Amino acid sequence: MDTTVNPNSTLEGQSQEDIPLTQKSSQFSQSLRSIHIRSIVAQDWFSVQKEREVYAVLYPMAQGLHHIELSTPLFGFGRNPKLSEAYNFTSLSDHHLRSSISGRHCHIERDALGITYLHDTSRFGTFINEKLVGKDSPCRLLNGDLISLCDPKFYAFIYVETKVSNDEFPAELSNEYLVSNLVIGKGAMSKVYIGKKRTNTSIAVAIKVIPKKHEIVGSNEEKRSTSEAIKREVQIMLSVKHPNCVRLEQLYESDSMAYIVMEYIEGGELYKRIIANENKGNGLGEEVTKFYAWQIFSALDYLHKNGIVHRDIKPENVLLLTKDTFTVAKLTDFGLSCMKDHSLTTFCGTQCYMAPEVWTNESYDSKVDIWSFGAVIFSSLSGYPPFSESYEDLKLKDQIVRGRLIYYKVWKHISTTAREFVRLCLKVDVKNRLSAEQALSHEWFNDPIAEKAKRVVQSYAD
């Protein structure tokens, strides 16, 4: 209880004139102290109000999490965080993941200078933009940082400061989407960020950012600006409606940049699965390869029948929906795609996956995609590419135009039917090469695994 003193008050029965000077001095000092106390109380009140002001919001990236307004100097996370202001993850739908979260997993601290730090106190780790913070090691949090718990790929929250605007992106985009600082992909000229819709909890998106003022030179027959290429990519993606092709959501533009918002595919690239350490350099094997191959041929059959040639099929452009093995596979990156309403002669694509007719500057058609995906299947079955600059006996172009294939001992574990199927996809003579429709009818897909792929895709599409 605060004590206040009236400087004009007197002892009972005494006038001001009757009070000794020393007593008057004492009362005056007491009055000054009272004023000082009231001043401190007021300062503390304003300080508390300032502390309670929301300085940042954590937007959820996972199912079952809630958005959190940060307004206190300390905020804890964990199953038993033991802080007055904390989040305990009781609503997290992934119960296995929740059991991996430590009792006192991490906490966020806001210092007197307005700088925010994340402190990791967990057993299995806390990550900022997929980088491990390190136990008992504070790491500064910046506007747009992505926080993960236990697994760098388990995105829990995007940290967004209330008084910091993201001028890097157009206002129209920022009003609809939150863009994180995490770059999940890079191209020759583009970057892909992970973000989320503001209005949908845990709906992640991929945002591809492309500079517009460049010229792409393909050959003497085809020169175009990136602006034209972007418009073509968007036009094609808007026309594509297939469960095994990545879906476009929105396009935003500034004077110098284009921003393509697409569905986010969390399972990553097929390439990374093929080279994963657990495969010991032997690829994915026949069963898993067939499961993905049926899906991509289904996409190619759809594209080709709708007059679209992809022209840049490679393991990096096949994305997997989830981290599960038997998941939906999707084609992405339609940046080099085109409508086959005219003769195609442009030298483009990724060289070790380019068909012979592209190397020899002949006109070509949709079967260039069959060759490219045949090379992907070869790599997935065996763990090594069919054609490579590292093979020193022949130049890459000669390997491809001759259709020279090297079979190492891993192929002893691959069925004769699978080997024959790959050879039919990698026929140098286009007339003898399979179409996508013929590939789907091949006996290699007359198999329970192909039926399983159909069911998984159908369930996803529904």
Q: Where in the sequence numbering do the catalytic residues fall?
A: 312
Q: Could you tell me if residue 208 is inside a domain?
A: yes
Residues 294 and 338 in one domain: yes
Report which residue type is found at 157: F
pLDDT on residue 333: 80
Indicate the pLDDT class of residue 238, thresholds 50, 70 and 90.
Answer: confident
Nearest in space to 245 (alpha carbons), one of 296, 304, 293: 296
86 has which bridge partners? Answer: 76
Are 296 and 324 part of one and the same domain?
A: yes
Kindly tell me the sign of the dihedral angle through the C-alpha atoms of 169, 173, 175, 178: negative
Between 339 and 360, whose confidence is greater? 360
Residues in Cβ contact with 396 at an 8 Å cutoff, skipping those fewer than 6 apart: 351, 352, 387, 388, 389
Residue 35 located in a structural domain: no
Among 187, 234, 210, smallest CA distance to 350 is for 187
Average pLDDT on 389-412 reads 94
| Structure tokens given for 191 | 């970057």
What is the mean predicted confidence (pLDDT) over 283-295?
98
The answer to the question of residue 309 being in a domain is yes
State whether 251 and 276 are in the same domain.
no
pLDDT at 383 over 60: yes
Residue 335: pLDDT band (50, 70, 90) is low
**Max CA distance (Å), the chain:** 122
**Phi and psi dihedrals of 388, rounded to 5?**
-160, 145
Q: Determine whether the annotation assigns residue 213 to a binding site.
A: yes
What was the pLDDT predicted at 29? 57
pLDDT at 242 over 90: yes
Most confident segment among 52-56, 245-249, 440-444: 440-444
**pLDDT, position 256:** 87
pLDDT exceeds 70 at position 214: no
Strand 68-70: give its sheet, edge to edge: 68-70, 56-60, 155-161, 146-149, 126-128, 131-132
Q: What is the tally of structural domains in the chain?
A: 3
Residue 185 is which amino acid? G
pLDDT in tens, 191-212: 999 999 988 766 899 999 988 7
Please state, in angstroms and rounded to a whole number, the distance separating the CA atoms of residues 274 and 282: 8
Listing DSSP states for 383-428 in one string gives SS-SS-TT-TTS-HHHHHHHT-----GGGGGS-HHHHHHHHHHT-S
Give the range of the structural domain holding residue 223, as residue numbers without chain letter: 171-263
Q: How confident is the model at residue 144 (pLDDT cuts 50, 70, 90)?
A: very high
> What is the reported pLDDT for 270?
96
Q: Is residue 31 part of a domain?
A: no
Same domain membership, residue 291 and residue 256: no
Q: Which of 161, 188, 220 is the last residue of a domain?
A: 161
- Percent of the chain past pLDDT 70, that is, above it, reads 82
Judge if 311 and 450 occupy the same domain: yes
With a cut of 70, say whether residue 121 has pLDDT above it.
yes
User: What pLDDT was estimated at residue 9?
Assistant: 42
Rounded Cα gap, residues 234 and 251, in angstroms: 8
pLDDT at 325 over 80: yes
Length of the chain equals 462
Q: Which residue has the higher pLDDT, 146 or 9?
A: 146
Cα(17)–Cα(115) distance, rounded to whole angstroms? 57
What is the arithmetic mean of pLDDT over 106-115? 95
Q: Above 50 in pLDDT, residue 32?
A: yes
For residues 368 and 440, state if they share a domain. Answer: yes
Say if residue 346 is in the same domain as residue 447.
yes
Q: How confident is the model at residue 11 (pLDDT cuts 50, 70, 90)?
A: very low
The residues pairing with 179 across neighbouring beta strands, listed in sequence order, are 195
Query: Residue 40: how many CB atoms within 10 A of its CB?
Result: 11
Is 178 found in the same domain as 136? no
pLDDT (0 to 100) of residue 440: 98
What is the reported pLDDT for 114?
94
**Residue (of 429, 417, 181) closest to 287 by Cα position:** 417
